[in-house]
A and B are shown apart, each in its own frame.
Chain A
Amino acid sequence: GENVEQHPSTLSVQEGDSAVIKCTYSDSASNYFPWYKQELGKRPQLIIDIRSNVGEKKDQRIAVTLNKTAKHFSLHITETQPEDSAVYFCAASRGGSYIPTFGRGTSLIVHP
């Protein structure tokens, strides 16, 4: 089955800095790569996703890049703010009856 590795497990940055979280996946048939943000005590919520026919996608301060050849994808957050502090999860799915596999999460801490 699919295996998703996520790094780092913890990331501490100063407000205004950029943050990058990286994930690798094992199943070359995976074609959908979502990112979820989970604030403390809350449920995970989708913040951005990318499909295999696209190399990069941006939404204001967040962007995701995908390298299908190397089987890795990354989340980029620019101009970080304290409200970006949360746990971020990447996931990979090949569609059909295959439920997405999640990475172990990255705890992002943005210091004011």
Chain B
Amino acid sequence: NAGVTQTPKFQVLKTGQSMTLQCAQDMNHEYMSWYRQDPGMGLRLIHYSVGAGITDQGEVPNGYNVSRSTTEDFPLRLLSAAPSQTSVYFCASSYATGNEAFFGQGTRLTVV
């Protein structure tokens, strides 16, 4: 049982480049979310999904897109990377919002 798998683990981008952070879970969880973690700011919600075909914005959605075509996958797309998007990104999934969230290993992204 792999849990939540995130790729890549590290990434360096140039300003203006685009990329997709991958997230997959094998627990048949309906709820998936993306967070960014910056020093002193905790975990801030970027986008989330309550099921396949349904996504919504979180606290800091600007500059990011998501889609949820299957229950298992929830990719995060950076459309045009900016230095302000330098951060550690975590994907998480849960059976329900009132249950334990399982996090991926994280992606450390640097935009230069």
Contacts and interface: CB of A to CB of B under 8 A. Distances in A.
B43 A89 contact: yes
A26 interface: no
Contact of B100 (A34, A43, A96, A103): A34
B62 interface: no
Interface in B13-51: 31, 33, 35, 40-45, 48, 50
Contacts of B98: 31-32, 51, 93, 95
Interface of B: 31, 33, 35, 40-45, 48, 50, 58, 90, 96-101, 103-106
Nearest to B96: A95
A104 B40 contact: yes
Contact of B33 (A34, A95, A99, A104): A99
Nearest to B92: A44
Interface in A78-107: 89, 93-105
B97 A89 contact: no
A36 B42 CA distance: 12
**Dominant secondary structure of chain A at its interface with chain B:** loop
B40 A43 contact: no
Interface of A: 6, 9, 31-32, 34, 36, 42-46, 49, 51, 89, 93-105
Contact of B43 (A51, A93, A95, A102): A102
B73 to A, nearest CB: 18
A105 B90 CA distance: 15
Contact of A103 (B42, B48, B99, B103): B42
11 contacts: A32-B99, A34-B100, A43-B104, A44-B43, A89-B42, A94-B97, A97-B97, A99-B48, A99-B97, A100-B97, A104-B41
A99 to B, nearest CB: 5
A43 B103 CA distance: 6
B97 A96 contact: yes
A31 B87 CA distance: 30
A31 B97 CA distance: 10
Contacts of A34: 100-101
| Closest 3 pairs between A and B when the two form their complex, measured CB to CB | A104-B42, A95-B98, A32-B98
